[in-house]
Amino acid sequence: MTSLSEASERYFTYLLSERHLSPNTVNTYRESLSVFGGFLSEHLNITEIEKISPVHIRSFVMEMNRLKKAPASVNTWLSAVRGLYRFLILKEIVRDDPTVAVNGLKVPSRLPSYFRDDQMSFILDQTTTEGTALTPQEDLFVSRRDKAILELLYSSGLRVSELVGLDLDRVFLDDLTVRVLGKGRKERVVPLGERAAEAIEEYLEVRKIYAGSDEQALFINVRGGRTTARNVALRIKNYAATHGFSAHIHPHKLRHSFATVMVSNSKDVRAVQEMLGHEKLSTTQIYAHADIASLSRIYRSAHPRDKMEKPSVSSADRSS
């Protein structure tokens, strides 16, 4: 018999060493399988992989639903279990996959939150380090770095993990491109806007004051080491609070904003899919929602039955 915890650890090692997933992604799988394993152990007294059946997995889904856990969270946990069994079958540890007979929960469709062009212009023009205890030199460094980060996130639609993972030799200011290492260590080349390139160039002038000679990270902290995704998120959150933004600003919202404006203006969903590094086209197609309002306006101005004046109809006409 193979315990669920033992099988899970082998799976995590596989994800890191063979699939080359990021530690953050693997931690998400770890947390999901921990929730699943806790349920099996506490409610069903099951700890071995071989004893798990479709009935047990359905019971897990039903219990999470009864506890009013978010459908998306339940499906994430279930997805981790499916991945574990695909691995176990691949490694011939088990023969059958009990997850194939289990359906996930229906997730209500929700459009991603994003900023309009005018909102983004205002945000990008307000970069400051107000409210931080910095020396004038540190203030200049941090403000230029944060400006470059915001411009790059909106210019190229990077995930925050991709942004903090960028090295100097991955940014080509002359060609206005960025070479990004995305999910599953898949590499893609993303266009870079001129304003973002200018902001990065200004940041690089002060970066050299803090970076060691062997530091390759594009974005660093005041101690000279690579900045983290958590630090970027905190800087953006504090920045939003300083300027009184009612809407919560986070790195992924800038990615949503980039995707929305690109799909809306280019109408080329496949090109945007490639820029975002999405595996499935359907993931990118959700950003076409921004076009609904403009399509309605076009329809009302173009369709003959919407353009034509409504003829007056007399009571005699109505009765005939």
DSSP class of residue 312 equals: P
For residue range 8-62, what is the model confidence (pLDDT) as tens digits?
Answer: 999 999 999 998 888 888 999 999 999 999 999 999 999 999 899 999 999 999 9
Same domain, 121 and 55: no
Out of 144, 145, 256, 278, the active site residue is 278
Same domain, 192 and 44: no
Bridge partners (DSSP) listed for residue 189: 179
CATH number at residue 17: 1.10.150.130
Query: For this structure, is 11 an active site residue?
Result: no
In a domain, 318, yes or no: no
Does residue 145 lie within any of the structural domains? yes
pLDDT tens digits for range 209-236: 999 888 999 999 999 999 999 999 988 8
Is there a catalytic annotation at residue 183? yes
Contact 152, 146 (CB under 8 A): no
Residue with tokens 């079958």: 89
Helix (H) or strand (E) holding 285: helix 281-285
d(CA 16, CA 193): 33
Same domain, 123 and 43: no
Catalytic residue among 56, 82, 183, 289: 183
Same domain, 126 and 249: yes
**Residue 72 and residue 160 in one domain:** no
91 and 228 part of one domain: no
172 with 212, same domain: the answer is yes
CA distance 143 to 126: 10
Tokens linked to 161:
């993990």
Is 278 considered catalytic here?
yes
Given 145, 253, 255, 256, the catalytic residue = 255
Average pLDDT, the chain: 83
Residue ranges making up the domain that contains 177: 117-294
Out of 20, 186, 252, 267, the active site residue is: 252
- Contact between 36 and 80 under an 8 Å Cβ cutoff? The reply is yes
Q: Is 43 a catalytic residue?
A: no
Secondary structure (DSSP) of 63-86: HHHHTT--HHHHHHHHHHHHHHHH
The verdict on whether 86 is a catalytic residue reads: no
The reply to whether 251 and 287 lie within a common domain is yes
Q: Among the three residues 51, 67, 101, which one is the final residue of a domain in this structure?
A: 101
Measured CA distances, 192 to 165, 196, 275, 282, 284 (Å) = 16, 7, 11, 24, 19
CA distance 222 to 134: 10
Distance, CA of 106 to chain centre: 21
pLDDT computed for residue 111 by the predictor: 63
Among residues 144, 147, 159, 253, the one annotated as catalytic is: 159
Q: Can you tell me the distance from the alpha carbon of 137 to that of 303, in angstroms, rounded to the nearest whole number?
A: 60
On whether both 124 and 196 belong to a single domain, the answer is: yes
CATH assignment at residue 290: 1.10.443.10
**Residues ≥6 apart with Cβ < 8 Å to 274:** 188
pLDDT band at 185 (very low <50, low <70, confident <90, very high): confident
Whole-angstrom distance, CA of residue 169 vs CA of residue 118 = 33
Q: How far apart are CA 48 and CA 320, in angstroms?
A: 80
Give residue 319's pLDDT band: very low, low, confident or very high (50, 70, 90).
very low
Q: Are 157 and 267 members of one domain?
A: yes
**Kind and range of the H or E run holding 205:** helix 194-210
Predicted local confidence at residue 90, as pLDDT: 93
State the average pLDDT over residues 60-78: 92
* CB-CB neighbours of 79 under 10 Å: 15
CB 232 within 8 A of CB 163: yes
